[in-house]
Structure 1
Amino acid sequence: MKLTVVGGGSTYTPELIDGFARLRDTLPVEELVLVDPAAERLELVGGLARRILARQGHPGRVVTTSDLDAGVEGADAVLLQLRVGGQAAREQDETWPLECGCIGQETTGAGGLAKALRTVPVVLDIAERVRRANPRAWIIDFTNPVGIVTRALLQAGHRAVGLCNVAIGLQRKFAALLGTDPREVHLDHVGLNHLTWETGVRLGGPEGANVLPKLLAGHGDAIADDLRLPRPLLDRLGVVPSYYLRYYYAHDEVVRELGTKPSRAAEVAAMERELLAMYGDPSLDEKPALLARRGGAFYSEAAVDLAASLLGGGGSPYQVVNTLNKGTLPFLPDDAVIEVQAAVGPTGAAPLPVPDLDPLYAGLVANVTAYEELALEAALRGGRDRVFRALLSHPLIGQYAYADALTDRLIAHNREHLAWA
């Protein structure tokens, strides 16, 4: 089995390698190819990857290359984890929206749109080259914004599934609070990427007993603290929102906070410098503890599980993924991409049935889905007016003066990445 990681020079990659090593029985990778244009980073990450596999006795071979076509040739699955523009572009995504009093964040709002505009054309080019190399290869997209990128891939006819680590992180957290094996915890997870709610927490599978009320009653304070939302709000909702919902439920509070501290991009950039220095140590043969602060917790477990199921191995029968709606949420178009529990196998992901969604959540999901459609149109076709329409439609923006000012800033800060600008 050959797997290729595009963006393999990321400091995330040792987390992924550690998962491949530990879970070799689930996903027996024989050749792992790391593709990245940043040769120096790739050499450091590739060296650590080989040492991690060797330490854990994994027989797989690690290959590093900056040649995308060679890297994807014959791959059974290609995992995308790239960041067009690097942390410097992320730093901009998180700062210039604040000038207009709007959220500065890399996956939602104006910053999220900027990332989509930079990313979608690049990902589609990569996917076409994957298709030429092996039309049966699966593409697993971990590149944000996952919902928009996955919709672009599926709309273009690629064999693709989107992946996010929010759900598996909550699954692990709830399992710890309940004192049970994470494999016994099934989430009623519904919404869009970075716009989801846990409407049930079931033990033993989709038909298991819903212990969410018990979880909120006994551990509501801890859950609320993690989400940085007030406990009474969780009690009133009766569900657990993704921590990304704080950008919507406490928008003004978050804007004030973001204006008083360094950006997350600046923190991550400093962390990456430290991590890369560690990766260059030839005695290091395991992922360093610092990597846990970098983000992407449990990413490797989710990626291994998904790849194993798609490639016919021993992955879990149900997984939270980003895939086509196909009537699952009847108020959305069939070709919208939703994030829900799905049955995953060699033919792809089939969403499990979802009970009628409370209008409190359905309205926001419908609104953001409309934004994502406009965002994808802007990413594919370009033009100032399309960017403006997408920004005006976003519930975190929604005022024409803000949308106009943000459009100008977005184009100015991303001109080198926008072929039409």
Structure 2
Amino acid sequence: MSFPWANEYKPTNPFMKWMDEKLPLPRFVYNSVGAGYPVPRNLNYFWNFGILALCCLGLQIVTGIILAMHYAANATVAFDSVEHIMRDVNWGWMLRYAHANGASAFFVVIYIHIFRGFYYGSYKAPREMVWLLGVVIFLLMMATAFMGYVLPWGQMSFWGAKVITGLFSAIPLVGEPLQQWLLGGFAPDNAALNRFFSLHYLLPFVIVGVVVLHIWALHIPGSSNPTGVEVKSESDTVPFYPYYIAKDGWAVGAFAFLYCVALFFFPNTLGHPDNYIPANPMSTPAHIVPEWYFWPFYAILRAFTADFLFIPAKLMGVLAMFAAILVWFFLPWLDRSPVRSSAYRPLYRKFFWFGLLPCVLILGYCGGAPAAEPFVMISQIASIYYFAHWLIILPIVSAIERPDPLPYSITEAVLGGEHVPPMANSTAPIPTHD
């Protein structure tokens, strides 16, 4: 979407004029994050999590590159190389903890970012491509995080790699060869460690490329907003710079403070103690569990405990685990409500706060719990509701609910009713207020 009232980039310095003609990078930055990019004036703090995700990605890439200089991707010495980083490399302990806790921080930010999209309908037209690219980024993040979890080559790293890659063996006909191809053998060893290290180093740069597409797709229709009402006039927007640069700066500062508290005061809280034991193929941990950010999907995987007709339980669990994310690709078409924001959808709002959100939290708790009762039964109930929410409840609710009246414009929602035009349902532009 083009905004006719957007400020144009007009360099006055001779060098900047020359640069703008030969390589219009300053114009690109100005139109992307400067005064040339109008943004809805009513964005709340949930819209700060996009820039926080970008900061987390940058943090992971920088710390990961430095750690790769000291890490040895060899099953014999991988664990010792991590200990070498922690004990002998200058500031190595901080880099390793920054990278490990940065992964957790990244997923916290991304999960809030995703659930903001669920609540405010950010997946609806005309922003379907923004949403689809976002789901691709999440899948790439999960693959990158899993491969990174294997690299320390502790007990949980080794057995996590064995269990997760073993899931592919459930695929009929091609499952066993696919598992062997992924591992480079019959069990996790040097070949698997080298492959995971290479891909773990490569995928963040692939994520950067998809993030560029994600931001590009966002700038075509413009940012969404809490009301779900599209921009109608200049009074509905403010320039990204300086208003949202300042707001994002405050959010980054608050995030950095909380991140540093975790980094310096309890860096091992989210890690598993078994991963500080060298990998031992002859000793299976009592409770194999992935990192916390995989727990909801791990609970769905474990919810299938009995074969159904000719379909093995293991295969159904694998399919359901991947389907739990793949269903997000279809949200723009499953949700047929003409209203985007749940702030104006009273019925769906109840299902979100008292259905979907508790369901995901319960799945997360059960995914980190032992594979025993009552956790398995609770996982099964929560898994049924999770898929029912997207495939049954959402389409039905979007068809039958009566949304609350929408504000005529973003300006009305922010400044109040006195700024409503005489004919609220007309297409006349709202007067600009200085």
More helix as a share of residues: 2
More strand as a share of residues: 1
TM-score (norm 2): 0.24
TM-score (norm 1): 0.24
**Higher normalized contact order (CA 8 Å, seq sep 6+, divided by chain length):** 2
Bigger Rg, which one: 2
